[in-house]
Amino acid sequence: MNEQAVRLRVTMTVNEGQLDAFKSIARQMVAGAEMESGTLGYEWFSDPNESSFALLETYENATAVEAHFMGPVVGELVPKLAAHVTITGLEFYGDPGPKVTEMAAGFGSVHFRYWNGMNR
């Protein structure tokens, strides 16, 4: 698999009246991601009204993305989160590998392959 870092951007709107439940699950997701050695970043951002959120994820490589997708954050917490939000976008930056690509296909994911640049 490609050893290039892989990034994800997931955007969503919180269903009306579900903000507190959403925030509780999102915090659990961060705690779970912190336990994953290949997860380099897992950061939530919100609009000023806290009605739309973006989750930016950074992984060492495709192997780390697959470990995350096969682990408890995605397997247990994402289904809980999905009850409180509407996913509006899923973008991959870099190659997440064939297994994750297949898993994400049902969400209308968009994949951007690495072309050129630098990162520190």
pLDDT digits (tens, 9 = 90+) for 29-60: 999 999 999 999 999 999 999 999 999 999 99
Task: Kindly report the average pLDDT of the chain as a whole number.
Answer: 95
77: CATH? 3.30.70.100
Rounded to an integer, the average pLDDT of 79-99 is 97
| Domain contains 81 | yes
Domain count, the chain: 1
Cα–Cα distances in angstroms (integers) from residue 65 to residues 22, 24, 26, in the given order: 23, 23, 18
CB of 73 within 8 A of CB of 33? Answer: yes
**Structure confidence at residue 2 as a pLDDT band (50, 70, 90):** very low
Q: Please give the model's pTM, rounded to 2 decimal places.
A: 0.94
Element (H, E) at 111: strand 110-112
Please say if the pLDDT value at position 24 is more than 50.
yes
Cα–Cα distances in angstroms (integers) from residue 19 to residues 75, 86, 90, 118, in the given order: 21, 12, 20, 37
Give the residue from 33, 29, 32 showing the smallest Cα distance to 21.
Answer: 29
| Domain contains 120 | no
| Domain contains 16 | yes
Which residues form the domain of 83? 6-112
